[in-house]
Amino acid sequence: MRHLKAHRKLGRTSEHRMSMLRNLATSLINAQDERIITTLPKAKELRPFVERAITLSRHATNLEGDNAEAQSVHLRRRAATFFHAGNRQQKISTGRRGPERAPRTAGVLALRRLFDELGERFKDRPGGYTRIIKLGRRDGDNAELAIIELVDNRREREAIEAANKRAKSATSAKKKSAKASKEVEETGSRRGGRKADRTYEKEETTKARGRGRGATDEKTEDQKPKGGSRTKKTEATSAEKDTEK
């Protein structure tokens, strides 16, 4: 029987473990790439922890009716328990002549992003908001590392958009080539290169060039090939032989 084995203890007390999971959840939601690197046991414990909070934001997005606003506030307060509170320092700086208000903590920012952005993104997704990718062992303590990230993140959307653009460009190129081949079949001409193919040259143009059927390739004296240095040497040697005789 698996009594008292619901979660990994991770070598920590309950308070320390909950504080660590809240910090990891805050880091995951506030991360620019929506991914963090941690050990595999921590990632496996963080996954159901943060997905419960995302489910609350998804329910708040899908609320309808007159009591929707009150229920949304209730769900937001329930989700706030998954992050560290950020209002403890606000009471000190609320005086009129006191210092400026302390900035909101990362937990408050994570809660705001959870309900403003992630709830809308995962509105139609019933669970499975995160992904775990194993990275192998870490040098030193040989701990197994893993990446935990939110699915449908910015990198995935950019990759999908780039793939769609490449597919559209390939489709347009195929259409252009098919259209060009169709024009070639209809007109009976070729447009493949810069120089026109003489096979499809008009007869008038060929005659004008002097290469028609009745034209002869007669070369003038200037166009005849002239001998080089070897021809001159041969002529000189023949002249010497004549003088000797």
DSSP output for 186-207: HHT---SSSSPPGGG--HHHHH
Of 24, 75, 84, 40, whose CA–CA distance to 54 is shortest? 75
Band the pLDDT of 179: cuts 50, 70, 90: confident
Report the Cα 87 to chain-centroid distance in Å: 38
pLDDT at 20 over 90: yes
The pLDDT of 116-120, averaged and rounded, is: 91
pLDDT of residue 23: 93
Least confident of 160-164, 168-172, 209-213, 217-221: 217-221
Tokens standing for 207? Answer: 């005659």
The pLDDT of 67-78, averaged and rounded, is: 92
The CATH superfamily holding the domain 14-90+101-151 is Ribosomal protein L17 (3.90.1030.10)
pLDDT of residue 82: 92
The angle formed by the CA atoms of residues 237, 239 and 244, to the nearest 5 degrees, is 95
pLDDT at 94 over 60: no
- The pLDDT tens digits of the residues spanning 104-114 come to 788 888 999 99
Of 230 and 30, which is predicted with more confidence? 30
pLDDT of residue 139: 92
User: CA-to-CA distance for 209 and 189, rounded, in angstroms?
Assistant: 20
pLDDT of residue 102: 62
User: For the chain, what are the domain ranges?
Assistant: 14-90+101-151, 153-186
What SS3 class is residue 36? strand
Least confident of 56-60, 135-139, 180-184: 180-184
pLDDT at 96 over 80: no
22 burial level (CB within 10 Å; 0-12, 13-18, 19+)? buried
Round the average pLDDT of the chain to a whole number and report it.
80
pLDDT of residue 244: 59
The pLDDT of 42-64, averaged and rounded, is: 93
The pLDDT of 178-182, averaged and rounded, is: 77
pLDDT at 224 over 60: no
